Amino acid sequence: MKKLFVILLTGVIALSLVSCLPRENKVECLLPAVVDRDPFSYPFLLTAIGKFIAPELAPTTLESGTCILAYFIVDYDNQPAEVPPYMASELICDIIGESNAKIVADDFDETAIFDDTDFSAEDIFPIQGLNPQLYNPILKGKIFLIFNHSAPQDQTANYTAIVKPAANVDEPVNLYLIAKKTNAPEGFEINRNIIHAVDMCNVIRVLGTETTIEGKSALELKINIQYCTGVDRKGGNDIPKYQEYKYNGVSTIPLSVFK
């Protein structure tokens, strides 16, 4: 069994790196994944493109549910007798930061700074762009997001995720995302892409509607993402500014979990 090598990616990747590339009879992947530990078998990597056996995770202390950025190889010439799931090899990974989405009351005022004594307008880390990664129900409610910022290389941040319920169950909910600076480094600002995970499982179970996916019972929740691009000063108050995420003119993303 090969040793698991862990590299420090500091949560920063290029958008083009989240991919799978063919290499002869092998596929080279760099994907966000959720660790799934089974006490009766090897651990698994849960990804948007499927589930992979990950023997190299067995000796590690990464718990089930941990979000990671995983580089691995799928060698189709060297697989267990019973496939799928296929086996991942040459695994390199880094833990991805994660936030739990919180449900707020229907009358939540998105024009006000969140009620957090440690959170002020000066703390807000403007999000310049957003790229949600591929989503799959096997990810157990985790959605991976790549945030674009302009900041020094050493800038660190936390992400707050707030869900405002819709007036009707058939309408999408709004997911508000705000980044908070956790330090004040000096240096030139550069374009940075930071990958982060948001756990939507509890939100989907509370607000989702019943559906069927691949013949299995599931819950589905449609969301619109609003990300904070900064703050305006109006009438003596700090007003957060939000941009709605859209891809090819479409803003609604369906999320789901198996029941």
CATH numbers and ranges of domains, the chain: 5-95 (2.40.50), 98-258 (2.60.40)
- Other beta carbons within 10 angstroms of residue 140's beta carbon come to 17
What share of residues in the chain are helix, strand, coil (percent, to 5)?
5, 50, 40
Q: How far apart are CA 219 and CA 208, in angstroms?
A: 5
Q: Is the pLDDT of residue 83 over 70?
A: yes
DSSP state of 189: -
Q: What is the pLDDT of residues 203-220, one digit of tens each?
A: 999 999 999 998 999 999
Using 50, 70 and 90 to split pLDDT, how confident is the model at 118?
low
Q: How far is CA 206 from the centre of its chain?
A: 20
**Angle value at C-alpha 225, between 67 and 257, nearest 5 degrees:** 50
Using 50, 70 and 90 to split pLDDT, how confident is the model at 10?
very low
Q: Is the pLDDT of residue 8 over 60?
A: no
- Across 122-144, average pLDDT: 92
Please indicate whether residue 232 or residue 128 has the higher confidence score (pLDDT).
Answer: 128
